[in-house]
Amino acid sequence: MDINSIDWNQVWKEQRAKHIHKESGPQYWNKRAPSFANHAVKTGYSDAFIKIMKPKRSWTVLDMACGGGTLAIPLANKVKQITAVDFSDGMLDILTETARKQKLKNIRTINAAWDEDWSKKDIGVHDVAIASRSLAMDDIVSGIQKLINSSRKRVYVSTVSGDGPHDRKVMEAVGRNFTPHVDYIYVYNLLFQTGIRANVEFITEQNTKIFDDHDMALNSFRWMLDNMTANEEELLKNFLKEHLVRRKDKWVLDYEKKVQWAVIWWEHNK
């Protein structure tokens, strides 16, 4: 099959449709913001991403769908200016408070979404645009074009490779068939089709979750199991009873879960 005959934008959209949570808008992420931001800084992901970036002090950077500042906060000490954009006020509040505590003066925040008109949000053009683990849009072509239009030198995006943060064991334990999410290769092939010869590097994240108790563990998996039924919840409780082990005064799963992310980046000329 000729790779150029495939509509990768449509394939991306169809695959995403299989996994879209009914709760996935700003209010959902506002609720998840504290736990999500807290977990994100513990995995070593940001250090690995920045090592791949090799940021320059002179850069201005757009961090699209920045979350609680997983990249914006550590990058602020390495670049000239960061524009951090997210559609979740809760995420931006966490980022702003962290920046205040660390006395970072070079981060400005904007409340905006992928599908809005960025020109009306004063996002502007930067040296580099990044979208880290945040390609949550149906029209991936439009999203990538916005990143290109908002940058002068480079674009960095990252997305899942393989299963990503989803746990097959958990899905199987509650009786759900596991369907992999949109993999990085969709993005890479789409870029290739448009003439962009991108670089790809991988980050392997040791995703060891630590829980205070079984209820905390149960709640940590709810995002993975949209519309979990009472029967599924009972099955998940049984799974956790079997696989949670005591480690000092905390609980951890008795198996290793690694998460791999693909960082795709390219240089471009305007």
Own/partner pairs, 2-11, CB within 8 angstroms, 24+ separation: 3/189, 3/192, 3/193, 4/193, 6/189, 6/193, 8/140, 8/186, 8/189, 8/190, 8/193, 9/139, 9/140, 9/141, 9/190, 11/186
pLDDT exceeds 50 at position 188: yes
pLDDT of amino acid 209? 81
Segment 144-149 mean pLDDT: 96
pLDDT of amino acid 9? 86
**Domain 3-164+181-206+257-267: CATH architecture, name and number where available:** 3-Layer(aba) Sandwich (3.40)
pLDDT band for position 124 (cuts 50, 70, 90):
very high
pLDDT band for position 191 (cuts 50, 70, 90):
very high
Over residues 25-63, the pLDDT tens digits come to 666 655 554 555 455 556 789 999 999 999 999 999 999
pLDDT exceeds 70 at position 236: yes
C-alpha pair distances (Å), 256 with each of 4, 37, 154, 167, 244: 39, 22, 35, 11, 12
Tell me the three state secondary structure of residue 208: coil
Name the one residue in this structure whose structure tokens are 């997305």: 159
pLDDT of amino acid 163? 85
Average pLDDT score over the chain: 88
Domain spans, the chain: 3-164+181-206+257-267
What proportion of the chain, given as a percentage, has pLDDT over 70? 89
pLDDT band for position 117 (cuts 50, 70, 90):
very high
pLDDT of amino acid 10? 87
pLDDT of amino acid 270? 47
pLDDT of amino acid 33? 46
Tell me whether residue 100 is exposed, middle or buried, using C-beta atoms within 10 angstroms of its C-beta: 0 to 12, 13 to 18, 19 or more.
exposed
Identify the residue with better confidence: 179 or 204.
Answer: 204
pLDDT of amino acid 27? 62
DSSP state of 221: T
In angstroms, rounded to a whole number, what is the distance separating the alpha carbons of residues 51 and 60? 17
Q: Rg of the chain over CA atoms, in angstroms?
A: 19
Identify the residue with better confidence: 187 or 27.
Answer: 187
Q: Answer yes or no: are the C-beta atoms of 159 and 133 closer than 8 Å.
A: yes
